[in-house]
């Protein structure tokens, strides 16, 4: 049976984490921010290079491991990049706590944790509810870019994204190359690019315009 004190402590900790993230995001980002978002940025190799090459774009990388975010922030500081932020945050919580007007121009998910065992597949980040939440924040011209070295996850993500009402996989080149830590260790990998489904986007715009 659950210990009610520990459960209460857990909920209090989560509420505090949520509040701190909301405060941080609202202090950091313009209310109508157009973002390049990397989920699971690790040591920040990819997004630092991306932000350097795209000084006009605001980039935010998140990860749940503090040491990785510290290292990423040191890279950002060494490169003097004012258009780049690395934050300790969980992906779904980040989506929930972004300022209401913030939108994604690009989303990168590079070498996400593969969770190879069948009973752990539920922990994979690419799931229909996650894709719906990202689509709610995606500009009509946004790209969702996914790369993995674990072939079964690639097949699963491809099928899940392509079957999703908000997304379609497109035959477009990978927009920007920079080797990540996990990429450097991978013997091979596969990539996909997806765009918001135009029909679902129209529906969403019409719905929000109509109240």
Ligand X SMILES: C[S@@+](CC[C@H](N)C(=O)[O-])C[C@H]1O[C@@H](n2cnc3c(N)ncnc32)[C@H](O)[C@@H]1O
Q: Give me the residues that bind ligand X (CB under 6 A), please.
A: 39-42, 62-65, 68, 90-91, 110-113, 125, 180-183
Q: What is the smallest separation between the CB atom of 208 and ligand X, expressed in angstroms? A: 27
Q: How far is the CB of 178 from ligand X (least distance, A)?
A: 10
Q: Are residues 49 and 72 in contact, defined by beta-carbon separation less than 8 angstroms?
A: no
Pick between residue 142 and residue 148 the one whose CB is nearest to ligand X.
148
Query: Does the CA dihedral 158-162-165-171 come out positive or negative?
Result: positive
Task: Quote the CA–CA distance of 90 and 46 in Å, as a whole number.
Answer: 18
> 45-53 and 66-78 are packed helices; what angle lies between their axes, rounded to 10 degrees?
30
Nearest-CB residue for ligand X: 40
Taking the least distance from each CB to ligand X, the nearer of 110 and 192 is: 110
Cβ 141 to ligand X shortest distance, Å: 24
Q: Of all helices (H) and strands (E), which one includes residue 103?
A: strand 103-110
Measured from the CB atom, the residue of 45 and 201 that comes closer to ligand X is 45
Catalytic residue ranges? 113
Exposed, middle or buried by CB within 10 Å (0-12, 13-18, 19+), for 87? middle
């Amino acid at each position: 049976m659950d210990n009610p004190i520990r459960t209460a402590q857990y909920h209090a900790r989560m509420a505090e984490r949520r509040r701190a993230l909301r405060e941080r995001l609202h202090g950091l980002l313009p209310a109508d921010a157009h973002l390049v978002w990397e989920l699971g940025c690790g040591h920040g190799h990819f997004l630092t290079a991306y932000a350097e090459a795209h000084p006009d774009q605001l980039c935010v990388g998140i990860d749940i491991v503090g040491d990785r975010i510290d290292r990423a922030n040191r890279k950002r500081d060494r490169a003097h990049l004012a258009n780049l932020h690395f934050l300790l945050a969980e992906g779904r919580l980040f989506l929930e706590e972004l300022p209401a007007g913030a939108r994604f121009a690009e989303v990168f998910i590079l070498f996400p944790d593969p969770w190879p065992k069948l009973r752990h597949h539920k922990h994979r980040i690419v799931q229909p509810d996650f894709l719906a939440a990202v689509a709610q924040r995606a500009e009509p011209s946004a790209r969702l870019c996914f790369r993995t070295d674990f072939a079964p996850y690639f097949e699963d993500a491809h099928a899940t994204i392509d079957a999703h009402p908000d997304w379609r996989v497109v035959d477009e080149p990978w927009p920007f190359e920079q080797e990540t830590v996990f990429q450097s260790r991978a013997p091979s990998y596969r990539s996909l690019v997806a765009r918001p489904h135009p029909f679902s986007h129209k529906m969403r715009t019409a719905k929000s315009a109509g109240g």
